[in-house]
Amino acid sequence: MADLKLYAGSSTPIRLRGHTLLCLQGFRGEGYSPGFVANMAAIHQILRNQPEATVQVVASPDAVCAACPHQQGSSGCTINGEPSEADMNNQDRVVLGRLGLKAGEHLA
User: Mind listing the pLDDT tens digit of every residue in the chain (108 residues)?
Assistant: 555 655 656 678 999 999 999 999 999 998 889 999 999 999 999 999 988 899 999 989 999 998 988 887 767 888 888 789 999 999 999 999 999 999 999 998
Query: What are the residues facing 57 on neighbouring strands?
Result: 16
Q: What is the largest CA-CA distance in the chain?
A: 38
Instruction: Spell out the residues 6+ positions from residue 66 whose beta carbon is closer than 8 angstroms to its own.
Output: 1, 2, 39
pTM of the entire predicted model: 0.84
Q: What is the dihedral of CA 24, 60, 67, 51, to 10 degrees?
A: -40
